[in-house]
């Protein structure tokens, strides 16, 4: 799918101003916004029709290790996993410099460097992390193609970048806490692979 420089520039401008953009990742289409604008975080909650009892922190994505190191603390096991799996669909639960309850739980945030050229270009231009949560109504199937994104979602965002069909298995990123050696969510990266890397 052809994405123009104009599309990238417009997406960056919208995100900088606090807008919400649907972007392709290496797993699923994601609702993305700046983590520094509280109204944007709350807007994504409303876009997903999240219920109060289902309120949990949004995962974050970054374009480089420099950005990750600026906003998060990485222990040696975390560095090992990042070196092996990034860019890719493994989110690490790391000590975070964020404080908003929609970004952290017990002082930690889930973050990864995704393996998608369009998304990485946007992230490297912005030089900040972004929220990236699946572009679906809460509890509904996540989309791997733009055509699968629900009308209620499309009507509420500022822009969509079509990156073609993504992961066929529809699995989100695996979320792993490298300090506690705990699986928070098993997804695109099998837990056995993580454990094998940590044994090295």
Query: Is 70 exceeded by the pLDDT of residue 53?
Result: no
Percent of the chain topping pLDDT 90: 90
Q: What is the extent of the structural domain holding 159? A: 5-198
Contacts of 147 (CB under 8 A, 6+ apart): none
What pLDDT, on the 0 to 100 scale, is given for residue 50? Answer: 87
CATH (domain of 132) = 3.90.870.10
State CA 172 to chain mean position distance: 9
Per-residue confidence at 1, pLDDT binned at 50, 70, 90?
low
What pLDDT, on the 0 to 100 scale, is given for residue 43? Answer: 96
State CA 160 to chain mean position distance: 15
* Angle subtended by helix axes 191-198 and 76-85, to nearest 10: 120
**Predicted TM-score (pTM) of this structure:** 0.95
Q: Dig out the tokens for 140 from the structure.
A: 């509904």
Query: Is 80 exceeded by the pLDDT of residue 142?
Result: yes
Q: Dig out the tokens for 66 from the structure.
A: 């420099």
How does strand 60-61 pair with strand 130-134?
Answer: antiparallel
Distances (CA, A) of 105 to 56, 76, 92, 100: 8, 21, 13, 9
Number of domains in the chain: 1
């Amino acid at each position: 799918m052809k994405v123009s420089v104009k599309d990238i520039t417009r997406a960056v401008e919208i995100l900088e101003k606090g807008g919400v953009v649907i972007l392709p990742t290496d797993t699923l289409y994601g609702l993305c916004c700046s983590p520094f604008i509280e109204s944007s975080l709350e807007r994504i909650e409303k876009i997903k029709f999240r219920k109060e009892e289902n309120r949990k922190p949004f995962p974050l994505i970054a374009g480089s290790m420099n950005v990750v190191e600026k906003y998060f603390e990485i222990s040696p096991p975390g560095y090992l996993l990042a070196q092996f799996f990034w860019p890719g669909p493994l989110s690490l639960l790391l000590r975070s410099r964020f404080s908003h309850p929609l970004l952290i739980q017990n002082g930690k945030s889930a973050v990864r460097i995704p393996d998608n050229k369009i998304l990485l270009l946007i992230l490297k231009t912005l030089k900040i992390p972004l929220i990236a949560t699946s572009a679906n109504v809460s509890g509904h199937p996540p989309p791997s193609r733009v055509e699968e994104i629900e009308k209620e979602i499309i009507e509420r965002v500022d822009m969509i970048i079509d990156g073609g069909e993504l992961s066929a298995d529809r699995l989100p990123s695996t979320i792993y806490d490298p300090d506690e050696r705990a699986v928070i969510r098993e997804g695109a990266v099998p837990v056995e692979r993580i454990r094998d890397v940590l044994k090295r």
